[in-house]
Amino acid sequence: MTFYADADADGYGTTSSQCLCEAEGTYTASNNDDCNDANKTANPAGVEVRDTVDNNCDDYCDEGLLSYGDLVITEIMQDPKTLRTARPSGLSCTTRAAPTFRCAGLVILRWGSDNHNVSGEVFIAAGEHALFLRDDDTGKNGGLTGGYSYGSDVTLDNYDDDLYIEFDGVIIDEMAYDYSREDWSAAMARASRCSSTPTSTAPLTTTTR
């Protein structure tokens, strides 16, 4: 009989198996359906809670539990004239309160056109910022490092545009900007949910696991 390894003893095993007459050691499960064998509360029968973990093994984390404002766009690099790239080069996001925001599955989108599904394991703890860059080449992004690159999937306009971030079909934040001022503060002024204090000189950090 095939037994599957179940290290967290939640009754759901991994793909590691042995053919045994009876359960032995960690080889106790009759299935290989566990998506996280290091977490007893994460399995196909689990209940999703806001903890950055996929608790019910559907490949989504914290689905249905995120709402508008859980992640906030704080900056956008609008029309970077000193850079070789002719397009806005990045944006910064932050959370305002615990728990940590897990960005895998987050969609960065230009309304009605471009979009990018964040696939990396980017975590943003309360009060931290994450930097999302169009280009991770420091020669093209103003020397910024440590950010997540969304590449050419999203090409914002230098003059004006509408930027959204969405998770599980729910808009988390949005920002509209125009050319009324020739720096990112124009975007700050028009953002629906920005902090009142510009953060362009603050250290931007991205926490990845």
**Cβ nearer to Ca ion, comparing 27 with 184:** 27
9 or 202, CB closer to Ca ion? 9
* Residues binding Ca ion (CB under 5 A): 6, 8, 10, 12, 34, 36-37, 39, 42-43, 48, 51, 53-56, 58, 60, 62
Write down the least CB distance from residue 78 to Ca ion, Å.
34
* CB of 138 closer than 8 Å to CB of 177: no
Least distance CB 18 / Ca ion (angstroms): 15
Shortest distance in whole angstroms from residue 50 CB to Ca ion: 6
Is the CB of 12 or the CB of 167 nearer to Ca ion? 12
| E-assigned strand segments in 46-202 | 72-76, 90-94, 101-102, 106-110, 115-117, 122-124, 129-133, 148-149, 161-167, 170-177
Residue in this structure with the two tokens 């996001």, named with its chain if needed: 93
Q: Using CA atoms, how far apart are residues 134 and 80, in angstroms rounded to an integer?
A: 12
Give the nearer residue to Ca ion in terms of CB position, either 6 or 70: 6
- Residues 36, 34: Cα–Cα separation, whole Å: 6
Q: How far is the CB of 49 from Ca ion (least distance, A)?
A: 5
Give the type of residue at 33. Answer: D
Task: Select the residue whose beta carbon is closest to Ca ion and give its number.
Answer: 34
